[in-house]
Amino acid sequence: MALKATTHVVQWEGVSVYKVGGKMFCLMAPDGHSVARLSFKCPPEHYAVLSQAPGFRPAPYLARATWVALDDPGALAPAELKAYIARAHATIAAALPRRLRTELGL
């Protein structure tokens, strides 16, 4: 929520969905949910490598949009996890229309 213009809603049986400009950039699911514990958007140029990195996998339902998933977010250092989420936010924000980015102060 510290990222600029971020909103939070709970959808899909308890999944926390974080958005910027109405577009999702990160999902956090409760334990035992059908989706991964944490999923986020990654830049298309990083997807092939990141989706095969240890601990990561293509995100269920969203891999076609270059999303990756982590079943155990605790496997990453907090600073590393924050950097991935900040990059996801920046990737989605950059794709928003200029007018909306201006309205949101991005």
The confidence score (pLDDT) of residue 61 equals 87
Provide the whole-model pTM.
0.89
Task: Give, in degrees to the nearest 5, the angle at Cα 38 between 65 and 51.
Answer: 50
Which residue bears the tokens 């007018």?
99
The confidence score (pLDDT) of residue 60 equals 84
Pick the CATH number of 6-104 from 3.90.1150, 3.40.50, 3.90.75, 1.20.950: 3.90.1150
Region of 68 (left: φ > 0; alpha: ψ -120 to 50; beta: rest) is beta
Q: Which residues of the chain have a pLDDT value below 70?
A: 33-34
Structure tokens at 32: 């035992």
Where do the DSSP E strands lie in the chain?
6-11, 15-20, 23-28, 38-41, 56-58, 67-70
The confidence score (pLDDT) of residue 34 equals 66
Structure tokens at 63: 């891999």
CA separation for the pair 84, 89 (Å, rounded): 9
